[in-house]
Structure 1
Amino acid sequence: MSTNPYPVDSATRTCCGGIGTHTRTCSTEPAAPAGASVIDDWGSGGEDRRVILGHDRHVIDSDVFVSTACIQHRDGRIDDGTTGDEGPSVYLDGAPASLNSDQARILAALLLESAALIDGWVRR
């Protein structure tokens, strides 16, 4: 008789896709969402949660940049903001009031790119 290499609780694991695919070597850390740049420690976004920051996207020849952020739960899901917590966000930093037309177009493209990224983190 062979021994089943999959623990009974494999259906509850997000690390490897569930039934029949969980093994003892699977990571228990959920993967960060696409575009993650800075992954804080667990607890930084509250109990069993962490803050994830996306890459900064810079507007040429200015101090303006766009970034993204979200809260990830230990089970891997990204907080969508419907429970009173902060959902994924796009942040704008710098002095966008003083951009030329080329820089403004770049900023618009960066905002759209960042919005599409966070839309992929949660279903609305």
Structure 2
Amino acid sequence: MKNIPALLSRIGSVNGLVTGLAIALVMGLSACSQSTEEGKIVQLPSKTEITVTCNEAWFKQVEQQLVSADGQGHGPDLGSDEWKSVIEFKLGVRGDNDVPDRNSEAWCAFVQQQLVKGS
């Protein structure tokens, strides 16, 4: 990294631009790791835990993103087992073994995680 000033002065040329981009990439990747006291590099976890409260407000939020009604005002009651089944279907996860029990907070967290992944 001692040659960074020299490399940056070459950014005017195509080779310098490529070199500059490579330096930026290396510096960006090193921001994703943490140095310990011994000088070892440890990868930081990339997943963040999603906390959701299964309540009427959250059901409405999900309904805005994944409409369960048929467009004519007919559809399951928000939060009902039927509604949760439709939501699983819309997410493409109905019947998957990793879907938590529908009557648990874990189900809502799972659905939220799927919504975040899809956006």
Q: TM-score, normalised by structure 1?
A: 0.24
Q: Which has the higher helix share?
A: 2
Q: Which has the higher strand share?
A: 1
Q: TM-score, normalised by structure 2?
A: 0.25
Greater C-alpha radius of gyration: 2
